[in-house]
Amino acid sequence: MLKKNKIDLKNLTRSQLTDFVLAQELSSFRARQIFSWLYRPGITNFSQMTDLSKKLRQSLEEQVYFSSLTPAVREQSVDGTIKYGFLLDDGAMIESVLIPEKNRNTLCISTQVGCAMGCRFCLTATMGFIRNLTPAEIVNQVCAVLADVTTHEMGTINNLVYMGMGEPLANFDNLLTSLRIVMDELGLNFSERRTTVSTCGLVPRIKELGEEIRVNLAISLHAADNETRSQLMPVNRTWNLDSLLLACREYPLAKRRRIMIEYILLRDINDSESDARLLAQKLHSIRCKINLIPCNEAPDLPFRKPSQKKIDRFQEILHDAGYTVIVRSSRGSDISAACGQLAVQGREN
């Protein structure tokens, strides 16, 4: 049977794999066995699943398969950041970014090829929307980078962030499936404390996400008034700041957890003292911390980074208002791996 006519088992949660196994008139415990093998390092074929009978392994080989990704591109920044380019079966290319820090590694993964959201400060938006990633294509980014950091003796991945190419909540069903796989103890075993989903503000989906699964939430806010935000982020014309911030207030958070508010500082657009004061006011009563991101400049975009004095003053105003505020240092900009810089051609020729 051709691969394209087979089921990719990495598209299935453990519960879905159990349904598949039962449909084959096998015992349900086989699903647990198979699922646990799929995400073990170095497992590339069914013959390695040694606690399955030879007959069952042969049957699986005939009916199904499990996919993997291997980096087609691996670029390392002078600051240690690593960008991976993954070539998909249909010729599309996606990127993931590993950000090494002292005692931890954070991986930023993609959920779509391109993006339909049209945020003006983001290079991914210049690609347009090409297609959603499957759960397997999302999860296999993590598997591939885990293998790479092991090979290079870099430890492991401590934090997983759905903040690469694409809008995660616009690929909602596949996002949820991938989360259930990476957070399964027999899958990749990431905890809710180590897993973050970022959104530009698809308000109804924020509520659904909180109802379906417990993960950290990051909001790409980038402006404190509707006029500015609508100019920067077309999504605000559908779901404005009031509706977005209400969704944040209602999002179910575990104790001692906070929403991450992402705010790109753009010179003379959203970086004034009055912008900072309005932001502090708008975020009132939301359990959050604020991540300030000085603009990562790119030749294809018209935005510039504010002066260090303005960045420091913006942070000071928010800090004085009682917020935890971090200024994110630009990482990987020399290899176009910094925030807002992920963009590749939709297909390899």
Question: What residues are labeled active site?
Answer: 95, 339
The one-character DSSP state at 330 is: P
Q: Are 3 and 65 in contact (CB under 8 A)?
A: yes
The CA distance from 184 to 22, in Å, is 20
Stated as kind and residue range, the H or E segment containing 152 is none
> At how many degrees (to 10) do helices 172-182 and 135-151 cross?
40
How many Å apart are CA 162 and CA 109, to the nearest integer? Answer: 5
- Name the H helices within the chain: 14-23, 29-38, 54-63, 135-151, 172-182, 203-212, 226-232, 241-250, 273-282, 308-320
H-run or E-run covering 107: strand 104-109
CA 141 to chain CA centroid, nearest Å: 10
Q: Running DSSP on this structure, what letter comes out for residue 24?
A: T
